[in-house]
Amino acid sequence: MTSLQVGDRVPDFTLPSATGENVSLKDFLGKKAVVVYFYPKDDTPGCTAESCAFRDSYDVFKEAGAEIIGISSDSVESHQQFANKYQLPFILLSDREGKVRKLFDVPSTLFILPGRVTYVIDKDGIVRHIFNSMLDFKAHVEEALKTIQSIN
């Protein structure tokens, strides 16, 4: 399997959300662009900084016609607590078995830590930008927003 590249059609997936309901990527395609960000773990310093940066820019993403989806291997219950604690207004999905992470071919860091990668997908389901940085948390938001604004 080759890794997902800019210009590729994004694979569909369905995962449980923090509310327990299943969410599919196809529910958004054809209607709006989607920012899918994979992060290592709920309520850790870097992941909290990244998620709160997405939260703080959420209205700008919505105005630009985009939805944000965060994905980690944490449980639905962990996502509920994380979203409530930091008032995260966007969707968090639980990829307990890492199937979607593998589908997107998100690399691990040092072969241990789940990677931190953001994908910007246009409303037609085409990957328009990929940003991979384990430590530059806020750049994920900046890169995604710049891409969303350029495609709309």
Convert the pLDDT of each residue in 43-99 to its tens digit: 999 999 999 999 999 999 999 999 999 999 999 999 999 999 999 999 999 999 999
Per DSSP, the residues of 19-33 read TS-EEEGGGTTTT-E
pTM of the model: 0.93
CA distances for 90 relative to 5, 17, 80, angstroms: 25, 10, 12
Both tokens of 132, joined, read 């991979």
CB burial class (10 A; 0-12, 13-18, 19+) of residue 105? middle
Distances (CA, A) of 32 to 106, 138, 151: 23, 23, 11
The residue ranges of every structural domain in the chain are 33-151
> If you search the block for the tokens 């399997």, which residue do you land on?
1
The residues assigned a catalytic role are 47
Is domain 33-151 classified as CATH 3.40.30.10?
yes
